[in-house]
């Protein structure tokens, strides 16, 4: 079965075409600058890269361009009709969706309703779904939710200490994000340790421009660092993570508008805010080596927060098989992994510096020392493969229902 995976942003569409169930990537690409004067598509197939530039009016035109490129004589598809299923990344599924689902009018209505909880993500996700349905109306489509893996979080972990009617009326609670990534690396870590997927107790650490951690008990999420929105938790590229909310009241009293506070917390803070230079960890590490004190402070605060969450989640879990690093920073920033795990011998966590230095460039393996009672792993995430697999399984069962 050929499955197209679509990740639709406000002005972009990422895509990968898979041959399932082998999970073999046939081609991948990115449509960017949709709705701007000059758009582009970059298409990867085998060892070839094809880039075309031109105006792309909207997502529907972008989706049409993807299908045209996939079946346009590049040796990928003879026709777009070879695509048998489409899997869509959707950020927020609220409390309604605890797993990936076949898209129906009811599902679309629910995704639209949850747009209040993810106004920057669900609307473009919906735009991509509608564009794909318009171009391939007879092809089954599946929604894969970032929040779904965290549906198993218990009430004690997702409830905020706010007046309870705010939860009942507005759904204000912890939802968590990056769930597809956390699920993927937890499952892969279980395989690496020779455990069943529902036998592993681990802490998954997703570090990119957005960062989050999850406590996984017996293969299921029981707590996670992001909350109602992706702002809570770890220090991120441009987001604050945890901080005293009264700071916002303090700044509001001094003339800051709500819109400017939102911008400050989500786009001007984190690594960028502390360093004053960049949200790119690679550049900050370079600046730190050159003696830039604020870059060094940004890195130290970033790593300290990770270490603190490891301790909290170890306490919540009670036992720990592994700490698993993933995401662009988690997979490549050797000093970050070392600092985040330093001084954790009390938890049985210790890394081997030589192994740590080798584990870069999407390499997978253990970086823990032989003396470590807990495995420390690096696992490159593959959210697209997880979406492709969910889509394949759902569509296959729909075509051949299990008696």
Residues annotated catalytic, as ranges: 146
Q: Is 73 left (phi over 0), alpha (psi -120 to 50) or beta?
A: left
Contact between residue 241 and residue 272 where contact means Cβ atoms under 8 Å apart: no
Positive or negative, the CA dihedral 188, 209, 115, 241 is positive
Beta bridge pairs of residue 40:
32, 53
CA-to-CA distance for 157 and 212, rounded, in angstroms?
15
What does the block give as tokens for 304? 């300290």
DSSP string, 240-273: --S--THHHHHHHTTT--HHHHHHHHHHS-HHHH
Q: How far is CA 296 from CA 171, 277, 285, 340, 356, in A?
A: 39, 11, 7, 14, 20
CA-to-CA distance for 75 and 47, rounded, in angstroms?
12
CA-to-CA distance for 370 and 351, rounded, in angstroms?
9
CA-to-CA distance for 217 and 169, rounded, in angstroms?
30
Contact between residue 84 and residue 136 where contact means Cβ atoms under 8 Å apart: no
What does the block give as tokens for 261? 């506070």
Q: Is 270 left (phi over 0), alpha (psi -120 to 50) or beta?
A: left
Backbone φ, ψ for residue 278 (5° rounding): -165, 160
Question: What 3-state class would DSSP assign to 360?
Answer: coil
State the DSSP code for 116: G
């Amino acid at each position: 079965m050929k499955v197209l995976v679509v990740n639709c942003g406000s002005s972009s569409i990422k895509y990968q075409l898979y041959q399932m169930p082998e999970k073999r990537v046939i081609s991948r690409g990115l449509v960017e600058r949709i709705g701007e004067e000059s758009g582009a598509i970059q298409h990867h197939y085998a060892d070839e890269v094809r880039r075309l530039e031109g105006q792309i009016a909207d997502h529907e035109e972008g989706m049409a361009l993807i299908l045209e490129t996939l079946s346009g004589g590049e040796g990928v598809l003879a026709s777009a009709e070879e695509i048998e299923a489409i899997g869509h990344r959707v950020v927020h599924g609220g409390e309604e969706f605890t797993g990936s689902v076949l898209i129906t009018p009811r599902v679309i209505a629910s995704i639209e309703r949850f747009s209040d909880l993810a106004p920057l993500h669900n609307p473009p996700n919906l735009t991509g779904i509608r564009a794909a349905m318009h171009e391939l109306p007879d092809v089954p489509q599946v929604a894969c939710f970032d929040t779904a893996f965290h549906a198993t979080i218990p009430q004690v972990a997702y409830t905020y200490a706010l007046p309870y009617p705010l939860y009942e009326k507005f759904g204000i609670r912890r939802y968590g994000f990056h769930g597809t990534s956390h699920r993927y690396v937890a499952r892969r870590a279980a395989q690496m340790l020779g455990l069943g997927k529902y036998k592993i107790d681990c802490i998954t650490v997703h570090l990119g421009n957005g960062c989050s951690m999850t406590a996984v008990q017996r293969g299921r999420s029981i707590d996670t660092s992001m909350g109602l929105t992706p702002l809570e938790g770890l220090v991120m590229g441009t987001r604050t993570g945890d901080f005293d909310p009264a700071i916002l009241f303090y700044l509001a009293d001094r003339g800051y508008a709500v819109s400017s506070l939102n911008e400050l917390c989500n786009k001007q803070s984190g690594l960028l805010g502390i360093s004053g230079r960049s949200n790119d960890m690679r550049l900050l590490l370079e600046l730190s080596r050159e003696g830039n004190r604020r870059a060094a402070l940004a890195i130290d605060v970033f790593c300290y927060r990770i270490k603190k969450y490891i301790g909290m989640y170890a306490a919540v879990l009670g036992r720990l098989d592994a700490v698993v690093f993933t995401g662009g920073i988690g997979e490549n920033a050797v000093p970050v992994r070392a600092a985040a795990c330093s001084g954790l011998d009390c938890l049985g966590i210790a890394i081997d510096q030589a192994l740590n230095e080798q584990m870069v460039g999407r390499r997978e393996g253990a970086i823990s020392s032989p003396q470590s009672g807990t495995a420390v792993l690096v696992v490159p995430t593959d959210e697209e493969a997880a979406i492709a697999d969910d889509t394949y399984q759902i569509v296959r069962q729909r075509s051949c229902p299990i008696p």
